[in-house]
Chains A and B, each alone.
Chain A
Amino acid sequence: MKEILEVLEKDARTTPEEIARMLKKSVGVIKKAIKKYEQSGVIVKYKTVVNRDILKDDVQKVRALIEVRVAPQRGHGFDHIAERIYRFPEVKSCYLLSGSYDLLLVVEGKDIQDVSSFVSERLATIDNVNSTVTHFILKRYKTDGDILKHIEKNNRIAISF
């Protein structure tokens, strides 16, 4: 049944009826399995991949990657301090890493000042946050397996043997 996830990860719009056909299962079985995945949190939600760069008149938002060094807390490790940070809606992603710093955040704001003030006023002032390094993102080429540039389709001839 894990193949359901493979299908939905490629195209979340695929209907249970279509998946049933592809996997040679009954629609009922597929629906039940999807429900189970949703309830257990395996399927978190269904979203659309949007490339706003193409909308020229759109208000562009600014994103930055932020390296954060923190002091882990007794009894909680990094989880507690991480939660203090990722609960902010400005934080779009949050990872705990091995290596020279601890947390990597993706932070979004309406402009550079917005992100900067989030870092200096909210983030850096949290107890146990020792230091931050901010990298503004200049261009997105690929996110989560999707290339954002329009790639020309290979023009196969309509008929061949």
Chain B
Amino acid sequence: MKRNRNKTIATYVFLVIMSIVFAFPFYFLIVSATNSSIDVTNGRMLPGGELFNNLKNIFSQTAMTSALKNSAVVALFQTILALLIGSAAGYGFEIYRSKGKDIVFNIILLSMMVPFAAIMIPLFRLFGKMSSISPMIGINSYASIFLPYIATAFLIFYFRQNTKMFPKELLEAGRIDGVSEVGLFFKIYMPTMKTTYAAAAIITFMNSWNNYIWPLVVVQSTEKQTVPLLISQLGSSYSPDYGMIMAAVLVATIPTLVIFFVLQKQFVAGMLGANK
């Protein structure tokens, strides 16, 4: 009995220490965002009264306002298009299953193995060519930031897996009622699969909001900068205003934190979707 109790105490001690270690960067981030640059450099570890000042500085001295807008626009388009395309494909591959489609599906899955760095240069050249068709889809356009991510093997796979659990009798009932094949997808499948869509939306939004390497390549003007590009630039400045930079990092992190805390269940479901 005593040995068991000692073990329990050891577990708690370990977990508390690990929790402090894991939570510390967040604490440092929040505290630094509320202090002046000098206080941060002096190692002040208590909340200060500079948060509003720091926030005022980010929005007046940096392109944060447009960065937030750009990130939001890109994330919105990316999420809507990726969900529409991913779910249509997942639905098609599962509901209208055939040998030919299964082969295509397996080839699509191979694209998950493609490292982004390997296709970055050809993609950049592709969007360079698209610039001559229309600046709307060329380098430095909103579209160029999200287009490479609107069809992903991950979402197609995710929707196909979830479609396996979709009650197919609903489709038969719809057909008897004279609903068209396309209508079945939009009017019956989509509303039934709301939670599947919610989880996919969260993951896609987060990926878009946090994406760095491709926007770094394809965005070429400050007006089109997304939030990660802006904070990366602030972080590498030679005379950093620590308080302001940490407030900027906090502003960049808050949307994803809010989504996580509000939609925890769908969030985890979306993550695990890859492993079902």
| Binding partners A and B | no
